[in-house]
Structure 1
Amino acid sequence: MNRLDPISLEIISNALRSITDETYAALMKSAYSTNIKERHDHSTAIMDRSGRLVAQAVESLPIHIASMHGLMQALLDKFGDDIHPGDLFIANDPHVAGGTHLPDVNLAMPIYIEDEIFGFVCNIAHHADIGGMAPGSMAGGMSEIYQEGLRIPVVRLFRNGELQQDLFDLMLLNVRVPKERRGDYFAQISACRLGERRLKEVVAEHGAETISTAFANIIDRTRERMGDSIETIPDGDYRFTDMMDGDGIEALDIPIELVITVKGREITFDFEGTCAQVAGNINVTLNATQAAVCYSLKALLDPDVPNNQGVLDSVKILAPKQHTG
């Protein structure tokens, strides 16, 4: 694989990070809800053409690191070659679209350079309401995902640059305060368009081949740094057990079991023995588990390493299987 010199790679890496930071700020400032404007529950990212996370805004939430990656895998699996300039995809479902929970709505826009997909710009924002049985869509006592709100698989919100108004009307009809939701959705859409412009500017300055090489080098560099840090941990098995009080419905004393196995530059988190999926809405998807584990490990070993695919690739996670509905 080609490698850029360290100076060029650092220049491009910072240029990509500045794109995600700018789109993060634009989304925050243009959103309608205090959930995004004040609480900053949103993230922005750049992905390569295969859906790997290349760059994420510095202020992005750690739990979102794997959600956008999960979205991209679902998007590419579903649409494959049926992706075109001007398309924009939306999803929120944790089970079929890589999400964390229903209020976190993901958007992804393909970036085309010379009639070929070069990458994607993505963002995710926590909407103050996504429908369901209670305002906020996250009340205790819920026992199935259908009570939490509108489930959105990966679908086209824009086709060839045109808003799919029927779909948008359906989404807004199923939420409370649709005016606020509409404003937040268009803030996300605008952030995608800003990211598209900025990424094309960087490609125009450095060349598509150079930026594509930089994508791979950035991920590899992070993977190497994580491997170096993991290697400082003595080989062996490390065990921890904790207990949750309950799920809010029926289950009590819910066990969480974890065995961390370190061998050289490899680390595995095995949650075997953890309680199976419970009735209450405290369950977590594998993507969200991966994000939490990776962030915790990064914070302990190398806090300054950037959030990208190199972090996700450094960790193996084994967990009890989840249901999908």
Structure 2
Amino acid sequence: MDGVELQILWSNVIGIVSEQARALQRIAFSPIVREAGDLANGLFDKRARMVAQAVTGTPGHINSLAAAARNLLDEVDENDIAPGDVLITNDPWMSAGHFFDITVLSPIFRNGAIIGYAGSTIHHSDIGGYGIGSGARDIHEEGLWIPVMKLYERGKPNRTLFDIIKRNVRTPDALMGDLGAQVSSGMIASERLNALCDRYGLDDIEELSDEIINRSETATRDAIRKLAPGTYHGSSRFDVPGGDVIELKTAVTIDAQQGEITIDFEGSSGPSGMGINVVPAYTHAYATFAVRSTLNPDLPNNAGSLAPIKLRLPDESIVNAKYPSPVNARHVVGMYVPFPILKALAHVVPERVLAEGSGAVWTVQVQGRDENGRPFTSSMFNYSGGMGARAEKPGISAVCYPTGVSAVPVEVLEASYPIAFTCKELERGTGGAGKYPGGDGQRIGYRMRTTRPWLLNTIPSRLSTAPEGLMGGCDGAHGVFRINGEDVVDTRKREMAPDDEVFMITPGGGGYGAPVAGE
């Protein structure tokens, strides 16, 4: 395909997925989607290969969605898919790793034949069960499990499935509204892709998808071939709710001849009894993100650029969850996956990696009844710490790295739920010193505006183990979690009194390079 023609068509494809994501955010009910952008949108060809992703979204969702389309279609008879059908699942092993993330896949038809699929995954406010915390003992305590089904069939809603979902969640209006936003975004993608085909006289997008995916894979393999071959090791240690310390170990093997990278997690911590276990798709999502960000970040993220990155996961490992392991708080471990990989790659491309940061976002969910007796369940809202310093720049303060979600503004939260914040500001000096210092964490305090007891689900990490500096940089500060002024380590769901106050300081990022004397 001519390079100019390809660039024109590629710009159109990116426009489609970007409009798909914007529509989803604008229509969504929940602040976690509307404000934070905790979502993913992708466009797939008829072989279920991800051709393009929207620029809005998180690596955990986007790269999991890349595999989810094929997983869903393997469960149905593709000859039984008709115009107006919409597939749905929240199976953790098929999609993004826990029940809260629901994936919706809409076929795109042209002249009576499927030419592609529009997919989306978003974090929903509630899915019943335990909630977002890590306290469930097996996956069946964690919420409603939706197998691969048709949410819509020939344009008509599956009333039985709708009724089951609404009866099993605490906030059905929010969940159904967000599902509607996902379906609507798929309809927009379908309209825009057909318009592209009309504009350029295409019957389908197979030649275009082949060109995009093959070029992306070739460019990724060429970037890997420029690296020094060999096996390089990295490890990362961090504490999780309850005080247990988890260690992730990686052996990163660069095969310059084949242009492939293999990441082996042998030696990592074993499965946990808490809901922090990570399914392979989510581990793969953050592992590929770490590698892709150090190679050529300007390359499109699609089936081609992800193909040369392979994983080996031990059977008994926290990053290879097996049924019926609890997984609802899988991000607590999953968001640390990039750090041991980046440490291994620091032996090869030290100028492209960064020091350890705060890692997993600190998630909060509150439930109860307001002063008028009306029930409320918040969507998950996140608090970030400091990002690790880079080879030539300081770390960014209070940023959600590696997940990339935005913070929901305090004003939005206070307008949406009966919550009152007592403080929210940067905690200066928590970033590690270095030639380039790590980013600072932040302090947050809040209480609920209610006269009744309420429930708190919070998942902090790094309350005792600090983010490590790199190349002689100093460690960042570990985090602090207090209730009414007392340090708390066990943060599983607990009942709170009306006047209780929660106070948090998120960790700072590690520094990069030895501190310069006198500075």
Indicate whether the TM-score tops 0.5: yes
Q: Which residue matches 1:323? A: 322
Q: Which residue matches 1:27? A: 24
Instruction: Output the amino acid matched with 1:77.
Output: D
Name the CA distance, whole Å, in 2 between partners of 1:7 and 1:324. Answer: 49
Is this contact kept in 2: 1:94–1:100, CA < 8 A? yes
For residues 270-316 of structure 1, the C-alpha deviation after alignment (integer angstroms, 9 at most, x for no partner) is: 11122232211111111111110111111112111111111220201
The question of 1:313 aligning with 2:299 is answered: no
Q: Which residue matches 2:220? A: 226
Q: Which residue matches 1:90? A: 88
Is this contact kept in 1: 2:14–2:54, CA < 8 A? yes
Alignment: residue pair count: 316
Instruction: Output the amino acid matched with 2:133.
Output: A
Alignment partner for residue 100 of structure 1, among 97, 102, 105?
97
Q: Which residue matches 1:187? A: 181
Name the CA distance, whole Å, in 2 between partners of 1:121 and 1:203. Answer: 15
Structure 2 residue runs of 5 or longer lacking an equivalent are 316-320, 325-519
Alignment partner for residue 114 of structure 1, among 98, 101, 111?
111
Is this contact kept in 1: 2:66–2:302, CA < 8 A? no
Is this contact kept in 1: 2:67–2:95, CA < 8 A? yes
Name the CA distance, whole Å, in 2 between partners of 1:247 and 1:259. Answer: 27
Name the CA distance, whole Å, in 1 between partners of 2:307 and 2:269. Answer: 26
RMSD between superposed Cα atoms in Å: 1.6
Name the CA distance, whole Å, in 1 between partners of 2:137 and 2:290. Answer: 29
The question of 1:255 aligning with 2:233 is answered: no
For residues 237-272 of structure 1, the C-alpha deviation after alignment (integer angstroms, 9 at most, x for no partner) is: 101122232464xx9333312100001111100111
Alignment partner for residue 288 of structure 1, among 275, 282, 290?
282
Name the CA distance, whole Å, in 2 between partners of 1:174 and 1:292. Answer: 31
Deviation of 1:98 after TM superposition, in Å, equals 2.6
Alignment partner for residue 271 of structure 1, among 265, 268, 279?
265
Deviation of 1:128 after TM superposition, in Å, equals 1.3
Q: Secondary structure at the match of 1:109?
A: strand
- Normalising to structure 2: TM-score of the pair? 0.59
Q: Kindly report which structure 2 residues correspond to 1:170-209, keeping only aligned pairs within 5 A, or say none.
A: 170-209=164-203
The question of 1:77 aligning with 2:77 is answered: no
Greater fraction helix: 1
Deviation of 1:206 after TM superposition, in Å, equals 2.0
- Which structure has more relative contact order (CA 8 Å, sep 6+)? It is 1
Q: Which residue matches 1:168? A: 162
Name the CA distance, whole Å, in 1 between partners of 2:62 and 2:38. Answer: 13
Name the CA distance, whole Å, in 1 between partners of 2:34 and 2:62. Answer: 20
Larger radius of gyration: 2
Alignment partner for residue 62 of structure 1, among 38, 46, 59?
59
Go from structure 1 to structure 2 and tell me whether the alpha carbon gap of 1:210 and 1:194 turns closer, same or farther (over 3 Å shift): closer
Deviation of 1:210 after TM superposition, in Å, equals 6.5
Name the CA distance, whole Å, in 1 between partners of 2:240 and 2:227. Answer: 34
Alignment partner for residue 241 of structure 1, among 235, 257, 261?
235
Name the CA distance, whole Å, in 1 between partners of 2:65 and 2:267. Answer: 28
Q: Secondary structure at the match of 1:316?
A: strand
Name the CA distance, whole Å, in 1 between partners of 2:275 and 2:201. Answer: 47
Aligned-pair identity in percent equals: 33
Deviation of 1:55 after TM superposition, in Å, equals 0.6
Name the CA distance, whole Å, in 2 between partners of 1:201 and 1:289. Answer: 36
Instruction: Output the amino acid matched with 2:51.
Output: V
Is this contact kept in 2: 1:290–1:312, CA < 8 A? no
Q: Which residue matches 1:17? A: 14
The question of 1:128 aligning with 2:128 is answered: no
For residues 37-58 of structure 1, the C-alpha deviation after alignment (integer angstroms, 9 at most, x for no partner) is: 1111111110111111101001
Is this contact kept in 2: 1:226–1:314, CA < 8 A? yes
For residues 63-84 of structure 1, the C-alpha deviation after alignment (integer angstroms, 9 at most, x for no partner) is: 1223223321222211133222
- Normalising to structure 1: TM-score of the pair? 0.93
Name the CA distance, whole Å, in 1 between partners of 2:253 and 2:19. Answer: 39
